[in-house]
Structure 1
Amino acid sequence: MTAPIAIIGTGIAGLSAAQALHVAGHEVQLFDKSRGSGGRMASKHSDVGALDLGAQYFTARDRRFVDAVQQWQARGWVAEWKPSLYHSKNGQLSASPDEQVRWVGSPRMSAITRAMLGALPVHFSCRITEVFRGRQHWNLQDAEGQSHGPFSHVVIAAPAPQASALLAATPKLAGAASSVVMEPTWAVALAFANPLDTKVDGCFVQDSPLDWLTRNRSKPGRDGNPDTWVLHASSSWSKHHLDMPKEAVIEQLHGAFAELIDCAMPAPIFSLAHRWLYARPASAHQWGSLADADLGLYACGDWCLSGRVEGAWLSGQDAARKLLAHLQ
C-alpha cells in the first residue's frame, strides 16, 4: 500500500494542492499549526461577529483560477463584492474609478478554505518543526516531539521563512525560500455602536500609517450591527512598529482612521489588533512552486508567484502537477 502524501499548511496553496492530489486518487494528510484552516484567509471570531483580518478580497485573472472561482460561486462559497471604493492621498479622499471584479468568501473569507478542506484528514494545532527522510519514506516531527509518518511525498505550504526551515533536506530549495523577503502587516478591527456616516466601503491609502481600510458590512453576508471596520497598516509602518504593544497599535491606527475618514467618529465599542508577521512577499517570483522530485519534496505558496490569493491557488496546483508528473 502506498504511503500518503503529507501537506503542511491549510491555507489556499496547501488546500489547492490537496484537492488536486485527492481528485487524482492519492491519499493526503494535512497539518496546520493553527486551530483552523485558512492561513491569511482566516477569519477571526469575536464579540462583534466574524472579522476578515487577513486577505480582504481577491481577484481572478488566470483562466484556471477564474474557472475555480466560478465553481465556488455556484456552490455558494464566494460572492462578488461591489464596494464604494476610494483613494486617499495627502489626506484627500477621491472616488476610485477601478472597475476590477472583486470576490470575497461568503459569509466570511474562511468559508472558502473550510469548504476546500471538506472531509480531508487534518491535524490542527500541530506545528511541524522538522521534515526528515528515512530509507524510503518521509517523516515529520512536531513541536511536542511526536513523529508522523511514513509519507511518500511532502508538500510544504507555509510562508517562505517557515518553509525554508522545513526544506533543510534539500539545500537548493531551502536557499530559494530563504531568499524571499516577507513583509509584515498590523491589522486592527474597530466596531461602532452606530454606523459611521460615510459612503466609503473600502479605501486605498497613501501618505499615512494606513495602507487599506474597509467596512465589513459592505461585503455580502456580513450585514448587521455593530458597524465593524478593518484597518491594515502599511508594510513600512508595520516594520517600524513590529513590537509595539497592541493597545498602542490600535490607538495609532484608530487616530489615522479618524483623520482620514470624512465623518465624525465616536469612540469604538470594540477593538482588537493582530500582527501578520508574514503578510506578503516583498516582490513577485515566477517559480510556480519549488520541487525536488527525486527526493519527493515540494513547496508552494503565494510567495512562489504573485503574492495574491490567485498566486497561492496556482502555486498549489503547480506543486500537485509536478508531483503527479513524477509519479507517471
Structure 2
Amino acid sequence: MTVPIAIIGTGIAGLSAAQALHQAGHAVQLFDKARGPGGRVSSKRSEAGALDLGAQYFTARDRRFVSQVQQWKEAGHVAEWKPALYNCKGGQLSPSPDEQTRWVGTPRMGAIARAMLDELPSTFSCRITEVFHGASLWHLLDAEGNQHGPFSHVVIAVPPAQATALLATAPKLAAVTAGVQMEPTWAVALAFDEALNTAMQGCFVQDSALDWVARNRSKPGRDDARDTWVLHATSAWSKEHLDLPKEAVIDHLHGAFAEILDCAMPAPSFSQAHRWLYARPAGGRDLGALADAHLGLYACGDWCMSGRVEGAWLSGHDAARRLLEHLQ
C-alpha cells in the first residue's frame, strides 16, 4: 500500500505542490480548514453573485507559470481582463499607463482552484493543529481531536503564523516562518441596483484609506445583475482598524469610494466585508520553499516569494521539486 503525502492548505501553493506530486505518480491527501479550495483566490457566494474579495487578478512572468496560465486559458478556466484602469492621487483620477497583461479566473477567481483540485483526495472544514512523527511516518491531529495518517511527507502550505505552530518538530523551519510578517487587508463589496456613472473599471488609489477598487462585472465571464464593486483598504488602514465592526468598515470605505468617484453615490443595495488577516507579506522574499528533507517536512506559500498568485504557484512547485529530488 502506497503511503500518501499530506498537504495542509489548498490555496494556490498547496494545490500547485499537489498537482506536481500527483503528476509525478505520488498519492496525495489535502486538508483545509475552509469549506472549499483557493485561499485568497476563492470566491465568496452572496445574494449579489460570486465575489472576488481576495486576489483581483494575476500576472504571469516566469516561463513555467506562463505555460500553466496558457493551459488554464485553453481549458477555459482563465481569461484576460482588460479594464479601463485609472490612478487616483490626491483625489484626482487619471488613466493608468499600466498595460501589463492581467488574468482572472472565469466565471470567478475560484475557478482556478477548482480546476487545480480536480478529483484529488481532499478533506475540508478540517483545521489541522498538530503534525507529529510516529513509527517513522507522519500523522496529523485536527481541532476536533481526530487523527489522520500515516503520511510519508508533509507539505505545509498555510500562512506563516499558522505554519510556525505546525513546524514544532522542525525548529529551523519554524524560526524562518516565525520571522515572516504578514499584512492584513479589509475587503468590501458594494452592489448598486443602477450602474454608477463612471468609465472606471479598476483603480490604484493613493492618499486614501483605499488601495484598490474594481468593477466586478468588467471581468470576463461575470453575469452580475447589479453593478458590484470590490474595494480593498490599504494595509496601514486595515492594521489600524483591524477590529472595527464590519458595518463601520463598510461605511468608511463606501465614503472613501464616493470621494474617488466624485459623483452621486447611492446607498448600496448589498454590502459585505471580509477581513484578510494574512493578505500579503511585508517585504519581498525569494525563499522558493522551505525544506527539511531529512525529516520530510516542507513549507510553501506566496509569503516565500512575491506575495502574488504567481509566487504562490512557484513556491508550491518548488516544494514539490525538492521533495521529488530527495526521493530520487
TM-score range, shorter chain: over 0.9
Letter in 1 for 2:255: G
Q: Counterpart of 1:116?
A: 116
Deviation at 1:145?
0.4
Secondary structure of 1:6 counterpart:
strand
Deviation string for 1:132-169 (max 9, x for gaps)?
01121000000000000000000000011111111111
Aligned Cα root-mean-square deviation (Å): 0.6
Pair 1:12 & 2:12 matched:
yes
Q: Counterpart of 2:318?
A: 318
Letter in 1 for 2:181: V
Letter in 1 for 2:80: E
Deviation at 1:263?
2.4
Q: Counterpart of 2:276?
A: 276
Q: Counterpart of 1:177?
A: 177
Deviation at 1:185?
0.2
Secondary structure of 1:132 counterpart:
strand
Q: Distance in 1 between matches of 2:224 and 2:43?
A: 17
Q: Counterpart of 1:38?
A: 38
| Corresponding pairs, count | 328
Q: How does 1:251-262 map to 2 (within 5 A)?
A: 251-262=251-262
% of aligned pairs identical?
A: 75
Flag structure 2 segments of 5+ consecutive residues without an equivalent: none
Q: Distance in 2 between matches of 1:274 and 1:103?
A: 23
Q: Distance in 1 between matches of 2:184 and 2:327?
A: 38
Q: Distance in 2 between matches of 1:164 and 1:220?
A: 38
Secondary structure of 2:214 counterpart:
strand
Deviation string for 1:204-256 (max 9, x for gaps)?
00000000000000000113321000000000000000000000000000000
Structure 2 CA distance for partners of 1:224 and 1:272, relative to 1, 3 Å: closer
Give TM-score, length-normalised by structure 1: 0.99
Flag structure 1 segments of 5+ consecutive residues without an equivalent: none
Q: Counterpart of 2:89?
A: 89
Q: Distance in 1 between matches of 2:118 and 2:223?
A: 26
Give TM-score, length-normalised by structure 2: 0.99
CA contact (8 A) 1:2 1:152 kept: no
CA contact (8 A) 1:304 1:315 kept: yes
Q: Distance in 2 between matches of 1:232 and 1:276?
A: 10
Q: Counterpart of 1:190?
A: 190
Secondary structure of 1:213 counterpart:
strand
Misfit runs of 4+, over 2 Å:
none
Q: Counterpart of 1:265?
A: 265
CA contact (8 A) 1:187 1:275 kept: yes
